[in-house]
């Protein structure tokens, strides 16, 4: 089976993490986000992946090479300007089989994609869309179906009165027949959601009810939710085995003797932890982070090579690669600090702040 993974978006909602690297290569618990999707597909026997890329494409290629995906062939199809979800797949048409998967690359999921393919083959659909239930349906585009699971309508952000029973949204995972691409003009920006699916006749487009874990990783809040879910082993991943014994995944050679460490926590190789520091649950330290003495890290995600002075406090925040935080500084909940930013000693980064990549935040 073949899959196209859409990885060419700008990732604006995840800035500043995506200012210096493409969203699919942003590390999620020390592995590129997109690698979880490749692992999931591999688990279902998908060995042929076409990665549809645009923005900062070289970074994605390098991240996937480092992550190591033996047994999966990954080809890259690059756009010079964003063509939208459907335009991007049209652009990759020459590499595509008669029937293939299309996946939004910014999703963490574990549903049974083989069952979606089986259903697609059984019904003879031209397009099958995985749907997932949603708590607040008024914020999304809903997909309506008949009793035979055929899609009858798409409702953009409906008023509360128009919400059906069992509201479901598009999960960004499709099985398509290649001739669906005949509906798309080459080289023109087009989206499946607006320009293709609503124009397919009901008897050709089916819904598949996806059961199990599914999360759109597009915002910092969801990124943190995904981090916690991986550490809680809510879905199977490379981490599950590592966290098994006591909920700690600490690489050999990291000296934790002088610190208090609360599970579940992940600490990668080359990290140095100062005496008296507390590393509370759901903290992730990537390769080569240096933590000073008496620091307090609570639900903190530090990407590779961050340096924290003594007495730094970070709560429920994400630090991009190489961030430096001076002694006594505080990073409050919901903040996101871009790659290489410097927080000066004693500074306070207020709740929900964004600090741009390379910027300096003064005390």
Q: Is 8 in the site for ligand GTP (CB under 6 A)?
A: yes
The Cα 262–Cα 260 span in angstroms is 7
Binding mask 62-81 for ligand GTP (x = CB under 6 A): -----------------x--
Q: Is 220 in the site for ligand GTP (CB under 6 A)?
A: no
Cβ of residue 353: shortest distance to ligand GTP, in angstroms?
A: 18
Q: How many CB atoms lie within 10 A of CB 28?
A: 19
Candidate segments 7-15, 121-129, 153-161, 239-247, binder of ligand GTP by CB under 6 A = 7-15
The Cα 170–Cα 175 span in angstroms is 13
Q: Choose, by CB under 6 A, the member of 16, 27, 84, 320 that binds ligand GTP.
A: 84
Q: Is 32 in the site for ligand GTP (CB under 6 A)?
A: no
Q: Is 145 in the site for ligand GTP (CB under 6 A)?
A: no
Closest CA to 300 of 279, 321, 329, 274: 279
Give 13 or 120: the residue with its C-beta nearer to ligand GTP.
13
The Cα 237–Cα 175 span in angstroms is 24
Q: Is 13 in the site for ligand GTP (CB under 6 A)?
A: yes
Give 12 or 148: the residue with its C-beta nearer to ligand GTP.
12
Candidate segments 11-19, 153-161, 197-205, 298-306, binder of ligand GTP by CB under 6 A = 11-19
Cβ of residue 210: shortest distance to ligand GTP, in angstroms?
A: 16
Q: Choose, by CB under 6 A, the member of 47, 61, 69, 82 that binds ligand GTP.
A: 82
Name the closest residue to ligand GTP (Cβ).
9
Q: Choose, by CB under 6 A, the member of 16, 27, 32, 105 that binds ligand GTP.
A: 105
Candidate segments 99-107, 207-215, 221-229, 353-361, binder of ligand GTP by CB under 6 A = 99-107
234-253 binders of ligand GTP (CB under 6 A) = none
Give 191 or 256: the residue with its C-beta nearer to ligand GTP.
191
Cβ of residue 52: shortest distance to ligand GTP, in angstroms?
A: 4
Q: Is 88 in the site for ligand GTP (CB under 6 A)?
A: yes
Q: Is 9 in the site for ligand GTP (CB under 6 A)?
A: yes
Integer CA distances (angstroms), 37 to 44, 50, 315, in order: 11, 13, 28
Q: Is 85 in the site for ligand GTP (CB under 6 A)?
A: yes
150-169 binders of ligand GTP (CB under 6 A) = none
Cβ of residue 116: shortest distance to ligand GTP, in angstroms?
A: 18
Q: Choose, by CB under 6 A, the member of 3, 11, 110, 173 that binds ligand GTP.
A: 11
Q: Is 279 in the site for ligand GTP (CB under 6 A)?
A: no
Q: Do 280 and 262 meet the contact criterion of CB atoms below 8 Å apart?
A: yes
- Which residues in this chain contact ligand GTP in the complex, by CB under 6 A? 6-14, 23, 52, 54, 79, 82-85, 88, 104-106, 218
């Amino acid at each position: 089976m073949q899959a196209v993974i859409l990885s060419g978006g700008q990732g604006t909602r995840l800035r500043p993490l995506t200012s210096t690297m493409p969203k699919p290569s942003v590390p999620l618990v020390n592995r590129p986000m997109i690698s979880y999707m490749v692992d999931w597909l591999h688990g279902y026997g998908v060995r042929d992946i076409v990665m549809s890329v645009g923005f900062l494409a070289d970074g994605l290629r390098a991240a996937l090479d480092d992550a190591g995906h033996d047994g999966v062939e990954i080809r890259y199809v690059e756009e010079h300007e964003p063509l939208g979800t459907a335009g991007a797949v049209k652009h990759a048409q020459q590499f595509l089989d008669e029937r293939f998967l299309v996946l939004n690359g910014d999703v963490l999921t574990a549903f049974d994609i083989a069952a979606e393919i089986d259903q697609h083959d059984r019904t003879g659909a031209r397009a099958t869309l995985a749907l997932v239930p949603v708590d607040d349906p008024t914020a999304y585009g809903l997909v309506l179906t008949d009793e035979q699971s055929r899609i009858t309508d798409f409702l953009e952000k409906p008023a509360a009165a128009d919400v059906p029973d069992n509201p479901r949204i598009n999960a960004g995972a499709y099985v398509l027949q290649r001739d669906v691409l005949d509906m798309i003009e080459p080289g023109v920006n087009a989206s499946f959601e607006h320009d293709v699916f609503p124009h397919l006749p009901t008897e050709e487009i089916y819904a598949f009810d996806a059961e199990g874990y599914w999360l759109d990783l597009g915002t910092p809040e969801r990124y943190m939710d995904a981090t916690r879910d991986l550490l809680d082993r809510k879905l199977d991943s490379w981490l599950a085995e590592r966290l098994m014994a006591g909920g700690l995944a600490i690489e050999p050679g990291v000296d934790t003797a002088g610190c208090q460490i609360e599970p579940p926590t992940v600490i990668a190789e080359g990290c140095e932890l100062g005496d008296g520091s507390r590393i509370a649950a759901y903290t992730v330290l990537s390769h080569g982070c240096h933590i000073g003495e008496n620091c307090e890290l609570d639900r903190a995600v530090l990407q590779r090579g961050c340096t924290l002075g003594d007495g730094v406090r970070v709560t429920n925040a994400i630090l991009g690669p190489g961030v430096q935080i001076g002694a006594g500084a505080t990073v409050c909940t919901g903040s996101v600090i871009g790659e290489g930013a410097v927080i000066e000693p004693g500074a306070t980064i207020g709740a929900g702040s964004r600090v741009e990549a390379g910027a300096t935040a003064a005390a």
